[in-house]
Amino acid sequence: MIRCEQFGWRYAGASAPAVRDVTLEIGRGEFVVVVGPSGSGKTTLALAMCGLLIGRQGGQPCGTIRIDRRDVAATPLPELAQLIGLVQQNPQAQFATLNVTDELAFGLENRCRPPDEIHQSSAVAADQMAIAALLGRSLATLSGGEQQRVAVASLLACRPAALVLDEPTASLDPQTAGELFRSLANLARETGLTVVIIEHKLAQLLPLRPRLIGLDEGRVVLDQPAGDSAAPLLLRLTGPSPREVSTPAFADAPGELLVDVAHATVGADGRPILDDVSLQVRAGEVIAVLGPNGSGKTTLLHGLMGLVAPQAGSIHVAGLSVSARAVSRRARAVGLVFQNADHQLVAETVWDEVLFACRTQGRPDGDAEREAAALLDAAGLAARRGDHPHRLSWGQKRRLNLISVLLHKPRVLLLDEPFAGQDWENARFLLRAIGDIVNGSPTRPRGACLIVTHDPRVVRHGCTRVVFMTQGRVELDAPVPDAFALLRSRGHAAYVETGAAG
Amino acid sequence: MTDIAATSGVHRLHPLVKLVWLIGLTVTVFRSPGATVPWLTAGGVMVLLWCASVPPWRLPGLRMWLTLAVMIVAVHVAFIREGRVVLGPVTAAGLEGGLRVTGRLLAVVLASHLFVKTTDPSSLAQALMKAGLPVRWGFALVTALRLVPVLRVEAHHVYRAQLVRGMPYDARGPRRWWLLLRRWLLPLLVSALRTAHALSLAMEGRGFGLHPRRTFRREVRRTFGDVVAAALLVMFIAAAEWLARHGG
């Protein structure tokens, strides 16, 4: 179905190829997972397979990719789209219409299929992805998981022979991600659809026994069915196992109270997002904030930053009520990293980006520059300091986001899914940087950190306490080992399973 | 956005009939030399809004439109001193001029509100494409509507992300606007271009552009109600012309 022969691709202006010497053959009905560290060429390979690279982006190809014996480079994209489809990370950016039914029909209408066939194919695709109940709904009203299912179904309705998904669950909670993976594995098994998924969430994929293809520095270094024999190499590809590396150690006794949320209620459009939430965080603590999509995790962080005001109750951070000071001035004491890496990039170079917050806060440049250089070096970004931030990979941008907040040493760190799409090597760097703030130094008091994450490895090895939220309320607040046991017993095992890779 | 959950008679009208009504009404109130036709039209549209379960007081920016209307009348009354004196410095010409412009403004704003709230954009685009509009232009309308809320959310995120890094957007004065222009607009533009690029790939990846025409899963049918609405438009224009000739 998909055949790569000595395929390589070098982006315009890049010093090295993103992908090189890739020779692969993927048959009909195969369920394939592509793994590898950040920057190993996974997305480049996915774009090339779907005809979105050669002739559409600046760069130099070599070798060939054939889909069903048709050369990708010589086939117009709309024709290739009848054979293979790509689901991107952000479903919002892929929707061409305004409601679910129109979205499912879109591809078939483009192919001038008759209305009866459109209705039939749309209904089948809706059944396959279990979204029949969503038909007719406005796309703007769907949750993240529902949007991703609609994005997959809109491609399935066109009945392609192969589907490529580039980190389709990056923003989904583990339960929703697991359901999506199972649906895709069933489709491959039952309908003969070839499914290629690029993912870091191996814990949920390995039980589905996919064929694993590992990339490292643009080359295929692993190609075999899942099994024990693949485990050591797999661990190397996803970074050293947490058991093999040192993760930050935190002082046992929590210190002064830094975050005090008392019966806070926050609402929007007449419905509560946070409902009577109470939470205390002390210096030296790293809190993992877990919960399903839409449970209020991001709103909790925004409430602590002062971006949303509580309608009832109170929120105090670092001794100040969040309503007492302008948000821009609170940035000295509280650092927030948003979910989307691109939103926070404002400067023209990586170097200016790191120093941005220090400069807006009037901190002397000499000290800040020395620390910035050290942090960039530790993050592996020293060689990119003159580049535009938007030219970095996703993983590099996330590290840059965090560094730019760490430099002015806030006492409270609020991180919204900083580990999404990161391999363990990068996650380890982020955890060490967080540990530095939380543990303090002889000249700097200890701080605290709240991390919204869906990665159980990060929770187990980098956090001291778990706050689990559902429907705007804190359902569970306990130290990590106790919380894991409680989550398992309450039917939330997907949030604690670490699988073979962790 | 459209209140497509509602199913009044106005909602059920063919989108092109509603579009022609909007254009016809706008031309008529602007052609009318007096204040009577614009105000009668604005009143009629209010009744239609009521019938379509779209309360006029939910008009976005209602306070701004009303303030603008009062200001227009005040400016006309203050600066037009010709004609018969009605009260103190207020002349009939000033009053009528203010009421005419205000009536036109309200009639067009309310009619546009009625059109937007009762017309499914997808149906409108489909009707336009069936009427001969090239498919690419038709979808330009749909994707623009699709991207407006997405980009609005993006703009909000970019603003907040910079605010929390100490950018004093919450300060007052001209410096705030200068900062917004320099620091907020560029990331927003980058974000918009990325979104548009991803969308164009996703559309082509589902065969958009494969054929110059396309089929549609549903038909936007013409009904007897559309014929009645078209006839009413002709009668409305004729009545407005008659009133204009007889001093209305």
Residues 6+ away with beta carbon under 8 Å from B155: B184, B188
Is A154 in contact with B150 (Cβ distance < 8 A)?
Answer: no
Distance CA A445, CA A432 (A): 17
In whole angstroms, what is the distance from residue A321 CA to residue A306 CA? Answer: 9
H or E stretch including A273? strand A271-282
Q: Mind telling me how many Å the CA of B121 is from chain A's nearest CA?
A: 8
Six-digit token string for A115: 């209305």
Q: Regarding beta strands B90-91 and A465-470, do their DSSP bridges make them parallel or antiparallel, or are they unpaired?
A: unpaired
pLDDT tens digits, residue range A202-218? 778 888 888 999 888 88
- Comparing alpha-carbon positions, the chain A residue that sits nearest to B154 is A343
- How far from chain centre, in Å, is Cα B169? 31
Give A173-201 as a DSSP string: -HHHHHHHHHHHHHHHHHH--EEEEE-S-
Of B80 and A400, the structure prediction assigns the larger pLDDT to: A400
Percent of chain A with pLDDT over 90: 25
- Residue ranges of alpha helices (H) inside A333-423 are 350-360, 365-378, 394-406
Size of interface A-B (CB pairs under 8 A): 172
Residues of chain B positioned with their CB less than 8 A from the CB of A85: 205-206
Show the tokens assigned to A418: 């900083």
- Cα separation of A278 and B126, whole Å? 51
Q: Are the C-beta atoms of A54 and A73 separated by less than 8 Å?
A: yes
CB pair distance less than 8 Å for B191 and A335: no
B199 → chain A, closest CA residue: A94
Subunit contact B164:A356, Cβ cutoff 8 A:
no
- Residues A468-496: tens digit of each pLDDT: 999 889 999 999 889 999 998 988 888 88
Q: Provide the 10 A C-beta neighbour count for residue A167.
A: 21
Contact B217 A336 (CB under 8 A): no
Cβ burial, residue A414 (10 Å; 0-12/13-18/19+): buried
Task: Identify the weakest region by mean pLDDT among A30-34, A148-152, A185-189, B77-81.
Answer: B77-81
Taking the alpha carbons of B243, B228, B60, B50 in that order, is the dihedral positive or negative? positive
Q: Which residues of chain A are within 8 Å of residue B129 when distances are taken between CB atoms? A: none
* Nearest beta carbon to residue A94 from set B191, B198, B219: B198
Which of B145, B150, B193, B206 to mutate to test binding with chain A, by most A CBs within 10 Å of its CB? Answer: B206
Determine phi and psi for A277, rounding to 5 degrees: -90, 130
Query: Looking at the partner chain, which of A78, A98, A340 has a beta carbon nearest the beta carbon of B208?
Result: A78
What's the pLDDT score for residue A240?
Answer: 45
Rounded Cα distance between A418 and B187, Å, is 20
- Residues of A within 8 A of B209 (CB-CB) are 78, 110
| Span A145-164, average pLDDT | 88
Alpha carbon distance A70, A65 (integer Å): 8
C-alpha–C-alpha distance, residues A200 and A420, integer Å: 9
pLDDT score, position A252: 61
Residue A234 sits at φ, ψ, to 5 deg, of -60, -40
pLDDT above 90 for B159: no
Which residue, among A77, A469, A46, has the nearest Cα to A264 in the 3D structure?
A469
* pLDDT, position A280: 94
Residue holding tokens 């090189």?
A: A20
Alpha helix positions (H), B60-211: 62-79, 92-118, 121-130, 135-163, 174-179, 185-204
- Strands A448-452 and A286-290 turn out to be parallel
pLDDT tens, residue by residue, A440-458:
888 888 999 999 988 888 8
Orientation of helix B121-130 relative to helix B15-31, angle to 10°: 90
Phi-psi region of A318 (alpha: psi -120 to 50; beta: other; left: phi over 0): left
Contact A403, A396 (CB under 8 A): no
Give residue-wise pLDDT tens across range A309-349: 888 899 999 888 887 567 777 888 899 998 878 777 878 78
Neighbour-count burial of A223, counting CB atoms closer than 10 A to its CB (0-12 exposed, 13-18 middle, 19+ buried): middle
Helix (H) or strand (E) holding B233: helix B224-245
Classified as helix, coil or strand, A502 is coil
